[in-house]
Chains A and B, each alone.
Chain A
């Protein structure tokens, strides 16, 4: 994506966000809306300006300069590991309620550690990942649950 496209996509996303707030406008007191409403208007103006400016010849020229620059060829971070890790994290968080902190963390930690081990995915690696996962989870549960007395989720299914 070049900078102009980024500006346009970003502007549209921001507008969607404002719209999602605007449809919920329902103030029961006379001063609940003053502040958010003014900021919404401000954001819409800023975003429109960004959007419009991305169509100027100046913006197009800047992009052409950038495309010629060497850093344009900079290696993009590999997408797949990011998506996989993000999905594991989400599953980890969603598991908190049903199975509790201990189990979900051990599973989540092991899964990520095992996945990132690259080619060497033999049972030994799983075992080692799981052991580290259990140790870290236990240590954190000791600090938060026992020392600081923060009640960690226990899991409604267990």
Chain B
């Protein structure tokens, strides 16, 4: 928070002194470099691909989706913070809870949560509890009863460590007083075959996977406030008596020190893109939940999550291997 505050003050002073870059008024006048910090084919990549066409209407010089992969996103974000020109023409996709948990968990993640200049948060993928179609667990109640029957016997696969999926599993364990073991996979895609093959009892996955594998998986409950339109038959945890709302939130961030008006213009462009009927249709079809949080809103949202995640972080990676 401090650093971006200082940056804002410095920039404000700069603007007052009349040294603000002259071309800021014409943003965008250069191509956009849209950096994806995760593997191609993942949720972040697919979202960027959905947005790309609509973005091109605003960035007339072009949109380049490029990849800076590694460290669960930290390599790309660290690069954004430390060696990217803050002109608004390089934006990186970012991801909650990652950008909060990494600096909390690691000695040095290469960036601080507050270093990232939030531009826009445009989607979320709520956590969803999935089992196989032929599983004996027909409802969440069945699942929890079974988990109570075999302490530490049930396993839940999910995407990544210190991810929304793992947090969701921990939250469920706490709320229901059970002890399922979370098994992290490298991405939501690679967790799916483990459930199909019966190697894990269920998945704590994202809404997108429930849509993609409709014919094979049964969704027991979803961690949203209200039922999702595309999954009308899936009850929320809230309805079933567990106040659990959690998922991954994705958006774009700019390097620290990006002029405020540029951030605002970029946010306006993303707002417009997320209103594009074609984009909305594809997001819906694929199970993404559209969020619309501008710069202030998304920063406030990120800050509001920090205490919650801090509370859960000590429970991460608890299962003993011995």
A–B direct touch, CB within 8 Å, in complex?
A: yes
How far, in angstroms, from A59 to B194 measured CA to CA in the complex?
A: 49
How far, in angstroms, from A34 to B321 measured CA to CA in the complex?
A: 8
Contact of B317 among A29, A34, A149, A150 (CB under 8 A): A29
How far, in angstroms, from A149 to B64 measured CA to CA in the complex?
A: 6
Nearest CB in chain B: distance from A146 CB, A: 11
Whether A28 contacts B321 in the complex (CB less than 8 A), given A150-B66, A151-B66, comes out as no
Q: Most A CB atoms within 10 A — which of B317, B320, B322?
A: B317
Interface residues of A in 12-47 (CB under 8 A from B): 28-32, 34
For residue B20, CB closer than 8 A to chain A, the reply is no
Flag if B322 contacts A30 (CB, 8 Å).
yes
How far, in angstroms, from A121 to B317 measured CA to CA in the complex?
A: 63
For residue B105, CB closer than 8 A to chain A, the reply is yes
Nearest CB in chain B: distance from A39 CB, A: 16
Which B residues are in CB contact (< 8 Å) with A30? 317-322
How far, in angstroms, from A32 to B318 measured CA to CA in the complex?
A: 11
Could you tell me the dominant secondary structure of chain A's interface residues? Answer: loop
Which B residues are in CB contact (< 8 Å) with A149? 64, 66
Residue of A nearest to B62 (CB): A149
How far, in angstroms, from A37 to B209 measured CA to CA in the complex?
A: 35
How far, in angstroms, from A1 to B33 measured CA to CA in the complex?
A: 52
How far, in angstroms, from A114 to B113 measured CA to CA in the complex?
A: 49
Proximity bits, B290-322, A CB within 8 Å = 1, else 0 = 000000000000000000000000001111111
Q: Which residues of A contact B (CB under 8 A)?
A: 28-32, 34, 149-151, 156
Which B residues are in CB contact (< 8 Å) with A150? 66
How far, in angstroms, from A31 to B316 measured CA to CA in the complex?
A: 12
Flag if B66 contacts A29 (CB, 8 Å).
no
How far, in angstroms, from A53 to B44 measured CA to CA in the complex?
A: 53
Nearest CB in chain B: distance from A51 CB, A: 32
How far, in angstroms, from A151 to B89 measured CA to CA in the complex?
A: 12
Whether A31 contacts B33 in the complex (CB less than 8 A), given A149-B64, A150-B66, A151-B66, comes out as no
Whether A29 contacts B64 in the complex (CB less than 8 A), given A34-B321, A151-B33, comes out as no
Which A residues are in CB contact (< 8 Å) with B105? 28
How far, in angstroms, from A150 to B33 measured CA to CA in the complex?
A: 10
Residue of A nearest to B162 (CB): A29
**Closest CB pairs A-B (n = 10):** A29-B317, A31-B321, A149-B64, A30-B320, A30-B321, A34-B321, A151-B66, A151-B33, A151-B64, A30-B317
Q: Pick 14 A–B contacts, CB within 8 A, sort by A.
A: A28-B105, A29-B316, A29-B317, A30-B318, A30-B319, A30-B320, A30-B321, A31-B317, A31-B321, A34-B321, A149-B64, A151-B33, A151-B64, A156-B83
Residue of B nearest to A29 (CB): B317
How far, in angstroms, from A104 to B316 measured CA to CA in the complex?
A: 46
Nearest CB in chain B: distance from A31 CB, A: 4
How far, in angstroms, from A34 to B105 measured CA to CA in the complex?
A: 20
> With A30-B317, A34-B321, A149-B64 given, can you name 17 additional A-B contacts, CB distance below 8 Å?
A28-B105, A28-B317, A29-B161, A29-B317, A30-B318, A30-B319, A30-B320, A30-B321, A31-B317, A31-B319, A32-B317, A149-B66, A150-B66, A151-B33, A151-B64, A151-B66, A156-B83
Which B residues are in CB contact (< 8 Å) with A29? 161, 316-317
Residue of B nearest to A150 (CB): B66
Which A residues are in CB contact (< 8 Å) with B319? 30-31
Proximity bits, B207-243, A CB within 8 Å = 1, else 0 = 0000000000000000000000000000000000000
How far, in angstroms, from A32 to B316 measured CA to CA in the complex?
A: 12
How far, in angstroms, from A30 to B161 measured CA to CA in the complex?
A: 13
How far, in angstroms, from A156 to B33 measured CA to CA in the complex?
A: 17
Which A residues are in CB contact (< 8 Å) with B64? 149, 151
How far, in angstroms, from A30 to B318 measured CA to CA in the complex?
A: 7
Interface residues of B in 99-148 (CB under 8 A from A): 105
Nearest CB in chain A: distance from B46 CB, A: 18
Which A residues are in CB contact (< 8 Å) with B161? 29
Nearest CB in chain B: distance from A120 CB, A: 42
